[in-house]
Structure 1
Amino acid sequence: MKKTFMGIKLRKLRAERGMSQIALAQAMGISPSYLNQLEQNQRPFTVSVLLKLNRAMGIDIQEFSEDEEARLLAGLKEALAEAAQPISLPEFQEVASQMPALAQAVIALHRRQHELIGRLESLSLQLGDGRNHDEPMISQPFELVRDFFFSHQNYFDPLDRAAEGLAQQAQAKAPSMKLDAWLEQRLETHGVKVQRDRSAQRSKRHFDPVQFTLTLSAHLEPPQQSFQMATQLALMEFSSLIDDLIKVPPFTKNEPARKLVRVGLANYFAGALLLPYMNFLQAAETLRYDIELLGQLFGVGLETVCHRLSTLQRLGSPGVPFFFVRVDRAGNISKRQSATHFHFSRIGGTCPLWNVYEAFSRPGQILAQLSSMPDGRRYLWIAHTVTHGEAGYGAPRRTFSVGLGCDVRHAHRLVYAKGLDLQSPEAATPIGMGCKVCEREDCPQRAFPFVGRALAVDENQSQSAPYGSLVGQRAGSQKLQ
């Protein structure tokens, strides 16, 4: 097992709380000399030390996890792929493990740079096409909300427990009543009239704050109607609880982001109400995370099951830490949630060798894939297609591929590991975050060269991979002879 050295982070946290080494050592129940060795990276952090640190300072031990370090490492490699001077892997690891605040700042600057580039490209298009555009040009709020969910490991304890309590209340007061009927009655206590509209084409839920009517699409299945009513209930009955969670930058100053995160948290509440935490977790463990059986048991779709599985990170009762992603045929990621470190690239698309794309050619089937990233980390991914839209000939339909993944060390808990050689690195399919930030030299699916190295072009030979690079030489450093 990898030893964890994070002395700089420990010194920073101690300084922020104004504690001396002696005071913290006494609070943790260890000797001052041992604490000094930890801070000087002369001794590694053990599970026992992390638990003592949690009790003494109330620090989330996730801050000292390998998952967080791996996420920062991936972000740094992407942000500095085009650096003028080569940066070695040990240097990246040192910054990610010892100076996480610096790593986060570099990643944030890189993200801001790409946002500005996107604005310039959009502005150029608008100025060049002769049309008048009044709509906003950027989608930055979406990224802010995604980062907010990731920073909470995709789990919000107050909201989750409130939803679980309401589900128990519904079962206790009306055990024979279906959830959609109970939710409709609950909304009526707030003066809201629920109605269904069969003519609704795109709108699943529309609330009129003047008439106090909630219109649902009649094409929705009962669980989908329950989800939409639970979302509306969250925005009304638990609005203050949601606002308490987002009294942090950037939502205090960015109104579009604030509205978007409120909807996201309301949707989170709805999922937690339909799939109450402990009941769902126990069922998931019993069924070895079989998403089809879980969908049948709780009467919801596979996408809802996968999304809920990515949120099971309650302290003391965690489930498997999953990453959840939804993509379309063009490779666009429309949903991504992660309870752990998996890094979704923001540039250059994703990897065509990832089984989330193979799922489109095998609709209706659940595909399992053991994969490995360039840094050697291995994952178990399952993928399947989902289709949304109204029934009937000629009705518009939307098809996506949904992926659910976890680190290989958790794979044995999943039914999908059956028949896979989890111990053999050779059994894993090599994938990457995207061609532009993937350093694999021998990938036949490469669409773009790796931006971190100079392009190698030899007119006298043709290779299977369309692009080659000069190992050890940075992009832009080649001189014309």
Structure 2
Amino acid sequence: MTTAELLDEDGPDALAVGRRIRQLRAERGMTLDALAAAVGRAPSQLSMLENGRREPRLSMLRAIAKALGTGLDALLETEALDERAGLELAVERALRSPRLQSLGLEPFRISKSVPDHALRAILSLAAEVDRLHDERAATPEQARRANLELRRLMRRQHNYFAELEQHARDLLAAVGHPGGPLTQRAASDIAAHLGFTLHYAPDLPQTTRSVADLRHRRIYLPERVSGDPRTAVLQALASRVLGHAEPADYTEFLRQRVEQNYLAGALLIPEDHAVPFLREAKARRAISIEDLRDAYAVSYESAAHRFTNLATRHLDIAVHFLKVHESGTITKAYENDDVNFPTDRLGSIEGQLCCRRWTSRVVFDIDDRFNPYYQYTDTGNGTYWCTARVEHSSQGAHSVSVGVRFDDTKWFVGRDTPHRGVSRHAVETCCRRPPAELEAAWRDRAWPNAATPRTLLATLPTGSFPGVDTTEVYAFLQAHAPRA
């Protein structure tokens, strides 16, 4: 049997063996030099062995056991000789772990003068580091749970957050915004009011949308902004306005993202101006997401999101929102109108395939991309009406749709659409199972090569801000910091 076989994963490791050798030697009053002489090796070699830095050969272990007057089994025992030895061993293992070493902590020799309670404190801290790391390294299931809890909160509040609306109201008043579309100059005025200057950089880290230098009160943005440049500025400022600290877990990270996006939307489409606009449209039975988009010069998705914030609170209209990738995957969802979207076993909508007969999927097959697409869809929970549009991004095409129950359709432009569909979202045979004739013809004659999503088996990116390369961010800030 080799030493490697003796020191397998179920038995003692080299560090444990080294510690037992040291303790047995000390108990016998033998110096390191004396043991080295007895086995015919240099003291430095024995020192490395006792410190677990070298795996001993089996012949060496036998020689050491003989010199110490004990058997080979005594050196390979899995249990520590005493409680103190066990503590030292556990601390040394913790200090050598990749997780602690990644923090820049170097292992050190534990002398007898280090009290037991100090060793226990080190172990507790190491365990807490592991716990926080595991908590932040959210698995896809943990992320879905966090997202589900956040969506439930949004539903309870009808996706309306009064404190965020007040923040937006105060900021707009501070810069003298009269209402209506927020100009880029007004967005810059908000930054100046908060004590920040805006800087556009060609080398912004690719894992970020913006970077805030809190020391010098600077906001860095990419030179080439995809989408509305005002949104990038306002989202960057939102965390400062809301006093966000480093998120403690993935749930807090998601909540902060929602708050940032909400506040940016509330600044772009102010409640005090938008509500009268929407109420007047309801009185005319002419509510239109396109009109809201055009009135405030925002994207269709921004207008749709903002409508969900205000619809139930101010118009007494329950609503649902979907963003669906061209692959059919639901990427964002909100509902408080009892629409029955497909869910996984946890109740999460995001990540599920949208029914191909639902408006959000049908719209991809419509040639007319200039006008919105409207459709009534019969479901197990009643009939719903939706308006949808396709938008493009670096991640591909997405459809964005807003829908209401049949009884609320009377308030909307597009209610006279002739398009009809039938969908049973939660029923597999609705569209996720092929028709019987197709299945019979091809079941045993087809073999697709699946394009597996790269995130299917991977955990979410770790860190306080998942997916962000903090080393790259710090190097960027160092390079762009103003010189004294």
TM-score range, shorter chain: 0.5 to 0.7
CA distance in 1, matches of 2:398, 2:290: 17
TM-score, normalisation: structure 1: 0.53
Q: 2:274 aligns with which of 272, 280, 283?
A: 280
1:336: which partner in 2? Answer: 333
Counterpart amino acid of 1:355?
T
Counterpart amino acid of 1:338?
E
Confirm or deny: 8 A CA contact 1:371 1:380 kept in the other structure. yes
Once the two structures are TM-superposed, the CA of residue 183 in structure 1 deviates from its matched residue by: 2.9
Once the two structures are TM-superposed, the CA of residue 186 in structure 1 deviates from its matched residue by: 3.0
Once the two structures are TM-superposed, the CA of residue 335 in structure 1 deviates from its matched residue by: 1.2
Once the two structures are TM-superposed, the CA of residue 169 in structure 1 deviates from its matched residue by: 4.1
1:208: which partner in 2? Answer: 213
Counterpart amino acid of 1:204?
R
Aligned length: 289
Evaluate the alpha carbon distance shift between residue 384 and residue 263 of structure 1 in structure 2; reply closer, same or farther with a 3 A threshold: same
Counterpart amino acid of 2:333?
R
1:265: which partner in 2? Answer: 259
2:139: which partner in 1? Answer: 137
Residue 349 (1) aligns with residue 347 (2)? no
For 1:4-43, what aligned pairs fall within 5 Å after superposition? none
Residue 230 (1) aligns with residue 242 (2)? no
Counterpart amino acid of 1:340?
D
Counterpart amino acid of 1:408?
F
Confirm or deny: 8 A CA contact 1:196 1:217 kept in the other structure. yes
Confirm or deny: 8 A CA contact 1:312 1:319 kept in the other structure. no
Counterpart amino acid of 2:264?
A
CA distance in 2, matches of 1:314, 1:359: 26
Once the two structures are TM-superposed, the CA of residue 388 in structure 1 deviates from its matched residue by: 2.1
Q: What do residues 139-196 of structure 1 show as CA deviations (whole Å, max 9, x unaligned)?
A: 2333332232223221111212331343344345x88996332332332344422112
CA distance in 2, matches of 1:275, 1:466: 53
1:148: which partner in 2? Answer: 153
CA distance in 2, matches of 1:419, 1:187: 44
Confirm or deny: 8 A CA contact 2:318 2:336 kept in the other structure. yes
TM-score, normalisation: structure 2: 0.53
1:430: which partner in 2? Answer: 422
1:447: which partner in 2? Answer: 433
Identity over the aligned pairs, expressed in percent? 17
Q: What do residues 62-121 of structure 1 show as CA deviations (whole Å, max 9, x unaligned)?
A: xxxxxxxxxxxxxxxxxxxxxxxxxxxxxxxxxxxxxxxxxxxxxxxxxxxxxxxxxxxx
Q: What do residues 10-45 of structure 1 show as CA deviations (whole Å, max 9, x unaligned)?
A: xxxxxxxxxxxxxxxxxxxxxxxxxxxxxxxxxxxx
SS at match of 2:175: helix
User: What is the root-mean-square deviation of aligned Cα atoms in Å?
Assistant: 3.4
CA distance in 2, matches of 1:283, 1:300: 15
Q: 1:371 aligns with which of 370, 377, 385?
A: 377
For 1:216-255, what aligned pairs fall within 5 Å after superposition? 216-220=221-225, 224-239=228-243, 255=249
CA distance in 2, matches of 1:219, 1:319: 40
Evaluate the alpha carbon distance shift between residue 418 and residue 286 of structure 1 in structure 2; reply closer, same or farther with a 3 A threshold: farther
| Unaligned segments of structure 2, at least 5 residues | 1-135, 345-351, 442-484
SS at match of 1:386: strand
2:184: which partner in 1? Answer: 180
Confirm or deny: 8 A CA contact 2:326 2:396 kept in the other structure. no
Confirm or deny: 8 A CA contact 2:174 2:193 kept in the other structure. no
Evaluate the alpha carbon distance shift between residue 188 and residue 337 of structure 1 in structure 2; reply closer, same or farther with a 3 A threshold: same
Confirm or deny: 8 A CA contact 2:181 2:295 kept in the other structure. no
